[in-house]
Structure 1
Amino acid sequence: MLRPVTVGVDGSPESLSAASWAANEALLRNAPLHIVHAWEWSPHPTVAVPAGTSQHDWADQMLREAVDHVRALHPDLSIVDQQVSQSPVKALHDASGQSALLVLGTRGISGFAGYLVGSVALHVIARAEGPVVLVRAGHQDPKGAGAAASPREVVVGIDFDRPCDDVVAFAFEEARLRGADLHLIHAYSAPGPYAVGTGRRSGPELQAEREKTLVAAARQLHEKYPDLTVTATASQGRPAPRLLRAAKEAELLVLGRHRRDSRFGHTGPVTHAAMHHAPCPVAVVPYD
C-alpha cells in the first residue's frame, strides 16, 4: 500500500492552503491523504475556542472543516482524518515517519512585516523522519493534478560539501510528477588568494567547472528520467539570495537538511531563510 501524504491542520488559513496543496500532491502520487489535527487539553484554552464550546468539540470542528474543504475540491480522493490527543510536534513527528510526505502551513515573512514561521513547523522540520513541505496561506498550486498549464520549474539547491543524492532524487521525482522542468542550482564563494588547486582559472572557467560537476551529480538520475528537462546553474555568491530569486518562478523549492543536526533543532541558514522568505512551497528533505 502506498504511504500517504499527510497534512497537519489547526484551523488556520495556512493549514487549509496546506491541505489543498497536499490533496493535489496525493492525487499526483495516486496516494491517500491523511489529515491530522493534534491538540492537548489546557486549563487555559486559547481565545479561539468559543465560550460554551469544549476544547474537544472545537478540535473536532477544525478537523471537519479541513476535511470538508478538501472533499469539496476533490470528492474522489481517499481521505483518512485523525484527531490526536498529543502535542502537535510529537504527533506530526510521528506522522512524518509513516508518510511519503508531510505538509504544513506557514505564514513566513513578507517584506519587513509579517509573521515568523510557527514554532511547531520549525520543530517538526528540524526533526522529521521524511520530507516536509511548507505551504503559505493563500498559495494556489499552479499545476495540480491533470492541469494543462505550461510547465514551470522545480528548483533544488545543491551543496557539493554535503551528500545530496536523496535531495536530488526527491526533486527529480517531484518534477516528473508535476510535469515541470528541473533546475539545479549551486552557489559558491570565490577561492581565496591562497586556495589550493584553483590554478589560474578565471571566473567563467571556474563557473563552467562547477556546472560540469553539477551535471555529473545528477547524470544517473537524468538517465532514469530521460524526458525531463534539466538545467544546471552554478554562480558565485551566497546561496540563499540566489535560491530565493529562482523560487519566484518555481512551483517548488527543494532543500536538504542534515539529520545530524536534528537533536539540536537546526535547519541551516539557507533552509531557514527559505522557510521564512520563499514565495513558493518549500520541501526540506533529510539526508544522512
Structure 2
Amino acid sequence: MNDRIVAGLDGSAESLAAAHWAAREASMRGVPLHLVHAEEWSSPRGLPVPTSEVRRHWAQALLTETADELRASQPGLDVDVRSFDGRPAAELAGVAAGASMIVLGSRGLGTVTGFVLGSVGMAVIQATIRPVVMVRASEDAVQHPDGRHAARDVLVGVDISQPCDALLAFAFEEAARRACALHVLHSWSLPPLVGYGAAYDPRVHAQLEMNANASLGDVLGPWRDKYPGVGVISRASAGRASTELVDRSSEAGLIVVGRRIRKSSIGAHIGPVTHAVLHHAEAPVAVIAHD
C-alpha cells in the first residue's frame, strides 16, 4: 500500500523547501513522511573528501534537525529518516517504489538541477512510475499560517488525443484535498494551412476551437461527476502547451504534467512539454507517469 511520502534531502535550500512542501502534503493526506539522504561521494581532480564517519555524522545531523523542524511545523506528523551511501537516483527510485509520492528540490532558473548533483531529479523522474514533485526554494518563502499549502489552484495540462486518466485522477484528487479549483488546459496545433496568409480563416479557427473545447468537456464529464465539489475551469486553445503552462505557473499552487511510460534506445523520455515546464515553471511541478 502506498501510504507514505518520500522527500529527498541534501542540505540545499531547494531540498529543504521540498521537505517542507512534502510535510504539508503528508499532513493533509494523514500519512507518514520519509526523509531520505542519498549521496555518492567522489574526489574531483584529486581533492580530498570527508571520511565515511564524518559524512555519516553530517547526514544524520541534517536529517534529524530537519525532521525536528518539520514535526514542530506540522504537529502530529509522523517523520522518519534514512541515509544511504550510493547512487542517489537509484536509491531514491527504490525507496519511492513503495510510496505515494516522492518530492525533490529543483533549482530552476533555466535548468532542472534536481537534488544533490543536478541530474538526480531528472533521473528519478525517468526511473520511477510513482508521482514525482519538483519544488523550488522560493516555494517555502511564503508563510502558511495554518500549516497547509498556499491557497492557490491546481493546474493540469492534458492531451486529450492520448490517455490522460492518470493525470486527471491525480489532479482532481489534489484539488479536492486542497479544496481549491482545478484548471484544465488542453493546447492543440492548427492544421498547417490554417495559419498562413490568405488561407487563414477566423471562422475555421473558431470552429476548431469549439470542437476542441467540446471534446475536452466530454473527457472531463466523468471526472466532474466523480468530484462534484471541485470547481473546474477548462480551456482548449491553439498554441504551445508548454508556453501556456509556464505563463500560468505563477498563479498555480501545483502544476500537473505527464510522461509516457516507454523506453527508447537512449533511455526514458519525458516529453518536450514536461521538460519545458520542469525547466521554467514557477510553481511545484508533479510529473505523473502514464501509459
Shorter-chain TM-score: what band? 0.7 to 0.9
Name the CA distance, whole Å, in 2 between partners of 1:135 and 1:148.
Answer: 12
Name the CA distance, whole Å, in 2 between partners of 1:63 and 1:128.
Answer: 23
Give yes or no for the alignment of 1:287 onto 2:287. Answer: no
Between 1:21-30 and 1:82-91, the stretch displaced more is: 82-91
Once the two structures are TM-superposed, the CA of residue 127 in structure 1 deviates from its matched residue by 1.9
Query: TM-score when scaled to structure 2?
Result: 0.87
Residue from 205, 208, 226 that aligns with 2:207: 205
Name the CA distance, whole Å, in 1 between partners of 2:46 and 2:20.
Answer: 26
Once the two structures are TM-superposed, the CA of residue 116 in structure 1 deviates from its matched residue by 4.3
Once the two structures are TM-superposed, the CA of residue 80 in structure 1 deviates from its matched residue by 1.5
Counterpart of 1:7 in structure 2 is 7
Residues 120 and 107 of structure 1: CA distance in aligned 2, closer, same or farther (over 3 Å):
same
Name the CA distance, whole Å, in 1 between partners of 2:122 and 2:47.
Answer: 23
Give yes or no for the alignment of 1:274 onto 2:255. Answer: no
Identity fraction in percent: 40
Q: Which amino acid aligns with 1:58?
A: W
Name the CA distance, whole Å, in 2 between partners of 1:109 and 1:25.
Answer: 25
Q: How many residues align?
A: 280
SS at match of 1:54: helix
Q: Kindly report the root-mean-square deviation, in angstroms, between the aligned alpha carbons of the 2 structures.
A: 2.9
> Conserved in 2, the CA contact under 8 Å of 1:240 and 1:273?
yes
SS at match of 1:280: coil
Q: Which amino acid aligns with 1:279?
A: E
Once the two structures are TM-superposed, the CA of residue 60 in structure 1 deviates from its matched residue by 1.6
Between 1:174-183 and 1:262-271, the stretch displaced more is: 262-271
Q: Which amino acid aligns with 1:131?
A: P
Deviations 1:37-74 (A, max 9, x none): 11235466998977997222222222223212312312
Q: Which amino acid aligns with 2:154?
A: V
Q: Which amino acid aligns with 1:136?
A: R
Give yes or no for the alignment of 1:60 onto 2:60. Answer: yes
Question: Unaligned regions of 5+ residues in structure 1, if any?
Answer: none
Name the CA distance, whole Å, in 2 between partners of 1:33 and 1:258.
Answer: 27
SS at match of 1:248: helix
> Conserved in 2, the CA contact under 8 Å of 1:142 and 1:251?
no
Name the CA distance, whole Å, in 1 between partners of 2:76 and 2:148.
Answer: 17
> Conserved in 1, the CA contact under 8 Å of 2:255 and 2:284?
yes
> Conserved in 1, the CA contact under 8 Å of 2:6 and 2:99?
yes
Name the CA distance, whole Å, in 2 between partners of 1:249 and 1:200.
Answer: 30
Residues 143 and 260 of structure 1: CA distance in aligned 2, closer, same or farther (over 3 Å):
farther
1:130-279 to 2 correspondence within 5 Å?
Answer: 130-140=130-140, 151-193=151-193, 202-261=204-263, 264-279=267-282
Between 1:51-60 and 1:204-213, the stretch displaced more is: 51-60
Query: TM-score when scaled to structure 1?
Result: 0.87
Counterpart of 2:198 in structure 1 is none
Q: Which amino acid aligns with 1:133?
A: V
Once the two structures are TM-superposed, the CA of residue 86 in structure 1 deviates from its matched residue by 2.7
> Conserved in 2, the CA contact under 8 Å of 1:39 and 1:59?
no
Give yes or no for the alignment of 1:87 onto 2:91. Answer: no
